[in-house]
Structure 1
Amino acid sequence: MDNPSLSEFDLHLFGQGKHWHIYNVLGAHLCRQKGAEGVRFAVWAPSAAAVSVIGDFNDWDSNADVMYKHEQSGVWELFVPDVPEGGLYKFSITSANGALLIKTDPYGQAFEPRPATAAVVTRRSHFSWGDGDWLFHRSRWNWREQPLSVYEVHAGSWRVHGSGRWLNYRELAEQLVPYVREMGFTHIELLPITEHPLDESWGYQTTGYYAPTSRFGNPDDFRYFVDCCHRNSIGVILDWVPGHFPKDEHALARFDGSALYEHEDPRQGEHQDWGTLIYNYGRHEVRNFLIGSALFWLDTYHIDGLRVDAVASMLYLNYSRTEGNWLPNVHGGHENLEAIAFLRELNQVCRERYPGTMIIAEESTSWPQVTRPASVGGLDFCLKWNMGWMHDTLDYLSQDPVYRQYHHDKLTFGLIYAFNERFLLPLSHDEVVHEKASLLNKMPGDDWQQRANLRLLFTYLYTYPGAKLLFMGGEFGQRREWSEKRELDWGLLEQDSHRGLQHLVRDLNHLLKEQPALHRVNFHPDGFEWIDCHDSPQSVISFLRKADDRSVVVIINYTPVPRFDYRIGVPCDGHWQERLNSDSTYYGGSNLGNPLAIRAEEVPWMGRPHSVSLTLPPLGAIVLEHKP
């Protein structure tokens, strides 16, 4: 090839791991060269002896379109005339030892439907976006002081079409977006829609890091979905998996016959528990591949945030490994220094290039400073999932109420570290699969007590400091465990009790938005104050949420015993009015509470000069607002 089209500057940046628009360089791109229309193909395969493009345009013939190698960068390229939009292609790679490998394009921006694996030539989109106002607002958005309530969704099983097939992206826009808006959530988080071959992996074994899965439509269909969300003031977060990748022969594993994206040594390069491979974060081109993928979604699809899956598995060299089955770092420790540097760079680049977007860590250990700046030793994430809060809360609520008094510390311990990080409180899909039971079935007692406990849990979630996340189906009390093979049990909403749960979540979302005390100071201790955390004998807690000299009082009774004349201290005189009562008949409760405004008395209590006497509903939570 006498006239390569890739610039030396592009290849130099890629070799340095700094080409933030690498998705416009590598892969397949429709273009015009020497007066001919066609496609420029480019792929990184430095150890290959030969590479050619094969596709439906050349009868999949490995000898037809042989590529040219840029020796210094290891990138191969070729312009093939007359390849149309929609053409199917792969790369035929001859390894250094002569083995023939048929691989799909790591930078493919669309793929044919599974189980087929060819990439699809796509034209640069001319989709007419209508979300300019949203993007302008987002770039100036201080998410730290705004309500954040995330509805976690698996696109294939939220609902299905009447024929039994999946809803496509446009149908999801027409049905899911109005539902989420009515329910009051601020964001939708999608389980991975990056292309993947196995439905049962839920998308967490990714093979196409630059392509929305073809299961639900084409790339512009997905743009339509995101645009519809934005025009309805709903953000979109994607689950994204840079921690590991599957061993499928057509994908990244030993891509050019060598350990290219992964480590050669299985003690570094293989997840034994998951049967997947680990990225070599020390290789510039691999980091560029991953950071380029993150930027691709923020750029090409206007995505508002990425939830980085399994961060703990990236941080520890000995993650889920026995002694002698892992390699220490250069200092002899178990920290993956290259992964740490990668995560810091990822967060810095995404924040600088797309202000207002959020990169969120699903990190399940006590690794310090996950959300603190890199300048002080942190990883620089925006938010971290609070797995400790989730485990303690669900463990506490699974106890029979008569025994909860002996587990009271599970309610109070989380406040010791609640502001060490900026936390998101997750009630996610991971908690309602693999025989863990649905949220409703985790609760003890008869049907009424189970629903009351779930209403109590939701009120606790929405009044506790931190961002919120709830997996689909939980909001109306899905009974069965979630399965990707079927839609949610929407028929339950024919029952008043399940509609009541749904109404409560809707009202909690709107209360979260309307009441600054519940969101303005989510990540600082100034926004929270215990009223009483010591009433373990009666399993009652009470606390204040505060912002801008305004407060709300939250009192939760974790037993089925009503509490009459229950006195708590309040911060000021005046009237206190129930803004929300999880025991309301509207939500399926017994309607015990305090329907009239309560005048604070000058009766010192709990170290405060004023107090109120309340009726606490059974297995109920109430939120009081001050009325001067």
Structure 2
Amino acid sequence: MSKHVQKPAVTLSQADAEALHQGRHGDPFGVLGPHEIDGIRRVRAFDPGADEMAAVTEDGTEHPLTRVEDGAAVFDGPVPGSGHYWLRGRADGAQWEFEDAFRFGPVIGELDEYLLGEGTHQRIWTALGAHVVEHEGRHGTHFAVWAPNAQRVSVVGEWNHWDGRRHPMRLRGATGVWEIFVPDIGEGEAYKYEILGRDGALQPLKADPVGFGSQHPPENASIVRHIGGYGWHDGRWMDERAARQSRTAPISIYEVHLGSWRRRENEGNRPLSYKEAAVELVDYAHDMGFTHLELLPISEYPFDGSWGYQPVGMFAPTIRFGPPHEFRDLVNAAHEKGMGLILDWVPGHYPSDPHGLAKFDGTHLYEHADPREGFHQDWNTLIYNYGRTEVRNFLTSNALYWLEEYHVDGLRVDAVASMLYRDYSRKEGEWVPNRHGGRENLEAIEFLQKVNTVTYGECPGIMTVAEESTSFPHVSRPVDAGGLGFGFKWNMGWMNDTLSYVEKDPIYRRHHHHQMTFGLHYAFSENFILPISHDEVVHGKGSMLNKMPGSEWEKFANLRAYYGFMWGHPGKKLLFMGCEFAQPSEWNHNGQLPWGLLDDPRHGGVQRLVRDLNTLYRGTPALHALDCDPAGFQWIEANDADASVYAWIRRSGGPDPEAVVVCNFTPVERRYRLGMPQAGRWREALNSDADIYGGGGRGNMGGIDAADGGVNGQPASAEVTLPPLSTLIFVKD
């Protein structure tokens, strides 16, 4: 008999036939396909479109199968031999042939089955999802999905007329995983899962939670994608990545919404593809001196207006910009330019779209059943059940997937604060305390620690970043030291305080002087990134330029001075697209950035300033090596509120020259005696008021000479010209 003839001598009953016809049979492989009965191979087949059915053996002989019952299109009959056969159906003068999916054995192996059953399979995408494979000598696709509370799961697509009766799947023991190998199905086929819940109700057709591709929205079926076999050319970057992403490295991140960075207006206003971005975006960011790109979420999402922050296809790069290999082209291109690529990652919530994870198998499988734990009031989304092992493992595997399969260099985890606290944005009575009666979400904390432990352990050199807006302790400390284990944390407090200051008219700034200094009280409590992100230029907050007070000239000068302050301040840097050339309007995800503004020397000047700030930051160890260490910072002047002047020293901790940063946040030019850490010549490495940046061209003629006789507690001092609304950076010659 053939290798995968079913062992039990099963008699096909009328009840079986009716259950198959009605799509409610829980064990289709137990009755369909080849079975040995009394030493003879019998083949059972189901095709609701056939009036007649036959099995055809390799010698071309047709072996008619008999309809079991008139009302059910189930056929049965002896087929001699043990070799390959296929099925031939007939109806209304038409004839068709197809492979019998029920003659193939399981694909998932014993180890995968064990780990899936245990909920500890760190790379579930290698077992679940849709994989184009050769199985038992035939080309096809292996489908596998976790739905432990289903009575029946079927894969459906055009090839079976979206009829869930035709390809019901095999349940793998206690794993809750259903699988089937469908021959002759390959790359590009659309599919979904039809699930019969344990209550007998059919669920809405579901996209594959581990699907590698999706249809173009608003269509939402999964697409079979072969994700293996890409030829990477980024070996040098991968070898150097750990050093380039360490606490001591210069990290300056260009945050991008890929759909609105640049568009082809003469081609229906379409966004760039991944392949086009691999050239245009990568070249631009590299020319601007950024070390990293950070993309707003690209996991497949149904609603453009969510910007990707409400994903449904966590394992599928959105088809909006191209298929998976083309996304790899973008990552590879960044690496070849010596740049890293970070993805925004959203494990905090997901939308309730019927084709998604919501009540996936008819039960609250991925989300909490209690809306006080499982429903996000702010976003009308669902919250993962982090207390369920399989759900934690699903998300942890997803993090590994992007890092391993796509060589992504880091994950910026969205909305961490909403995960950490059970009462986040909830009133009394709208949340459930933890087992100790507290507000911390202990299961989410454990999950985040697990993600960081696994990703750093399995993918050396990567970085994880928390967008965390509270004072939760030790976010970027190792798990074994009691932390959450992130590599870096966005410094939301610094962003809020400093933007609040620069938005004020300079005449009032002296009353708020320490909004600019307060961040130094905690600047080294975490490994911080200073973020000017998309969140600061949407929802009525105005653009960075229009946050600034005063005349047009003062607005530009304020913004240039603020960027100088930011790049001179301890902490890694992040800037959202368009902010680098002072986009005057809020970001609009439906259009491209206003690139024509670069013809205006004021906007072009801000762009040049950001480019030069990045170059100086990268090339001056004093400005980056101790970004996360208090030894790299010392105040020179923190208290001159009347003049709105700030000055400090940056050090590398090594033999590299020191840098001194001075800011004047009033529209008044000052001649200012400033304490300096050493006597001698100090080069004016950057002046935000320079002509080339659109400023007034005032400054210090390229440098200053510090002499013995200090002020501000420093051993030396110099007379410094501080242009109005400016930042100067001096580096010791």
Which band: TM-score by shorter chain?
Answer: over 0.9
Residue 168 of structure 1 is aligned with which of 273, 296, 307? 273
Contact 2:190–2:223 under 8 Å retained in 1: yes
Residue among 238, 243, 255 paired with 1:152: 255
- Say which is worse superposed, 79-88 or 404-413, in terms of deviation: 79-88
Higher alpha-carbon Rg: 2
CA contact (8 A) 2:244 2:250 kept: no
Return the alpha-carbon distance in structure 2 between the equivalents of residues 139 and 595 of structure 1.
40
The amino acid across from 2:259 in the alignment is G
For the residue of structure 2 that corresponds to 1:579, the secondary structure is strand
2:290 corresponds to 1:188: no
**TM-score, normalisation: structure 1:** 0.98
> Which residue, out of 119, 124, 127, partners 1:25?
127
Report SS of the residue matched to 1:10.
helix
Give the aligned residue type for 1:144.
Answer: R
Distance 1:150 1:605, change over 3 A: same
Query: Residue 173 of structure 2 aligns with which residue?
Result: 71
Of 495, 511, 515 in structure 2, the residue corresponding to residue 410 of structure 1 is 515
Q: Tell me which amino acid in the other structure corresponds to 1:603.
A: G
- TM-score norm. by structure 2 comes to 0.84
State the distance in 2 between where 1:208 and 1:589 align: 47
Partner of residue 232, structure 2:
129
> Following the alignment from structure 1 to structure 2, what is the Cα–Cα distance between the partners of residues 166 and 260?
36
CA distance in 1, matches of 2:705, 2:435: 65
Q: 2: CA distance between counterparts of 1:376 and 1:357? A: 19
C-alpha change, 1:124 and 1:176, in structure 2 (3 Å) is closer
Whole-angstrom CA distance in 2 between matches of 1:443 and 1:625 = 28
Q: What is the distance in 2 between the residues matched to 1:86 and 1:6?
A: 22
Distance 1:217 1:172 in 2: 11
Verify the 8 A CA contact 1:52 1:91 in the aligned structure 2.
yes
Query: How many angstroms does 1:7 deviate by?
Result: 2.1
Q: Secondary structure at the match of 2:160?
A: coil
1:391 is aligned to 2:496 = yes
Matches within 5 A, 1:313-324: 313-324=418-429
Change in 2 beyond 3 A, CA 1:33/1:142: closer
Between the aligned partners of 1:44 and 1:290, the Cα distance in structure 2 is 14
Distance 1:473 1:64 in 2: 52
**Deviates further, 173-182 or 2-11:** 2-11
Relative contact order higher in (CA < 8 Å, ≥ 6 apart)? 1
**Cα distance between partner residues in 1 of 2:481 and 2:148:** 37
- 2:411 match: 306
Could you list the per-position Cα deviations for residues 82-128 of structure 1 after superposition, in whole angstroms to 9, with x for gaps in the alignment?
A: 11221111000011112112111000000111111111111233222
Instruction: Map Cα deviations across residues 157-212 of structure 1 (whole Å, 9 max, x no partner).
Output: 00001321111111111211111111000000000011000000000000010010
Q: Deviations over 1:434-456 (max 9, x none)?
A: 11000000000010000000001
Q: Per-residue displacement from partner, 1:11-69 (whole Å, max 9, x unpaired)?
A: 32233332122101001111222322211111100111111110111111110001111
Letter in 2 for 1:331: H
Tell me, yes or no, if structure 1 residue 585 matches structure 2 residue 691: yes
**How many corresponding residue pairs?**
626
- Provide, for residues 495-539 of structure 1, a one-character-per-residue CA deviation record: whole Å limited to 9, x for no partner: 111100000000000001110000111101000000010100110
- Partners of 1:337 and 1:623 in 2: CA distance: 45
- 1:296 is aligned to 401
SS, match of residue 526 in structure 2: coil
Asked if 1:234 corresponds to 2:339, the answer is yes
Equivalent position of 1:87 in the other structure: 189
1:490 Cα deviation after fit: 0.6
The alpha-carbon deviation at position 589 of structure 1 amounts to 0.5
Cα displacement (A) at 1:575: 1.1
Q: Is the 8 A contact 2:227 2:324 kept in 1?
A: no
Match of 1:375 among 463, 470, 480: 480
- Distance, in Å, in 2 between the alignment partners of 1:14 and 1:8 is 10
Query: Which amino acid in the other structure matches residue 65 of structure 1?
Result: H
For structure 1, which runs of at least 5 residues remain unmatched after alignment?
A: none
Counterpart of 2:54 in structure 1 is: none
1:515 to 601, 616, 620: 620
The one-letter code of the counterpart of 2:278 is A
Distance in 1 (CA, whole Å) between partners of 2:728 and 2:272 is: 39
SS class of match (1:534): strand
Q: 1:296 offset after TM fit, Å?
A: 0.6
Give the C-alpha shift of residue 406 in structure 1.
Answer: 0.1
**Quick one: percent identity of the two aligned structures?**
52
Q: Deviations over 1:360-380 (max 9, x none)?
A: 000010101000111222101
User: Residues 372-402 of structure 1: CA distance to partner in whole angstroms, max 9, x if unpaired?
Assistant: 1112221010000000000001100000000
Q: Is the 8 A contact 2:245 2:251 kept in 1?
A: no
Shift of 1:142: 5.5
**Partner in structure 1 of residue 371 of structure 2:** 266
Q: Which amino acid aligns with 1:202?
A: W
Cα separation, partners in 2 of 1:491 and 1:342, compared to 1, 3 Å: same
The 8 Å contact of residues 191 and 203 in structure 1, kept in 2 or not, is answered as yes
How far apart in 1 are the matches of 2:647 and 2:625? 20
Whole-Å Cα distance in 1 between the matches of residues 563 and 719 of structure 2? 24
Equivalents in 2 of 1:207, 1:576: separation in Å? 55
Question: C-alpha separation between the residues in 1 aligned to 2:624 and 2:118?
Answer: 42
| 2:665 is the counterpart of 1:558 | yes
- Measure the CA separation in 1 of the matches of 2:513 and 2:178: 62
Aligned: 1:597 with 2:703: yes
Alpha-carbon distance in structure 2 between the residues aligned to 1:450 and 1:140: 38
- Say if 2:711 is the partner of 1:609: no
In 2, are the aligned partners of 1:14 and 1:284 still within 8 Å (CA)? no
Q: Aligned equivalents of 1:350 and 1:592: distance in 2?
A: 50
Aligned residue number for residue 248 of structure 1? 353
Q: What amino acid is the match of 2:255? A: E
What do residues 121-172 of structure 1 show as CA deviations (whole Å, max 9, x unaligned)? 1123322211111111114556211100000000010000132111111111
Partner letter of residue 59 of structure 1? H
Offset from partner CA, 1:535-586 (integer Å, 9 cap, x none):
001100000000114310111000001101x111111111112110000011
Aligned 8 A contact 1:139 1:354 in 2: no
- Conserved 8 A contact 1:14-1:288: no
Counterpart of 1:66, as a letter, is: P
Instruction: Name the counterpart of 2:538.
Output: 433
Unaligned runs of 5+ in 2: 1-28, 31-104
Q: Structure 2 counterpart of 1:586, which letter?
A: I
TM-superposed deviation, 1:316: 0.3
Alignment partner for residue 40 of structure 1, among 136, 139, 142? 142
> Is residue 2:676 matched to residue 1:570?
yes
* Residue number among 221, 230, 234 corresponding to 1:118 in the alignment: 221
State the 1:596 CA deviation: 4.3
CA distance in 1, matches of 2:227, 2:258: 25
| Conservation of the 8 A alpha-carbon contact between 1:140 and 1:355 | no
Q: In the TM superposition, what is the alpha-carbon distance from 1:4 to its structure 2 partner? A: 2.3
Tell whether the 8 Å contact from 1:108 to 1:211 is kept in structure 2 after alignment. Answer: yes
Amino acid at match of 2:176: G
Residue 602 of structure 1 deviates from its aligned partner by 1.8
Instruction: Give the conservation status (yes or no) of the 8 Å contact 1:372–1:378.
Output: yes
Comparing 109-118 with 35-44, which one deviates more in the overlay? 35-44
Query: For each residue in 1:395-447, what CA deviation from the matched residue of structure 2 results, as whole angstroms up to 9, or x when unmatched?
Result: 00000000000001101110000000000000000000011000000000010
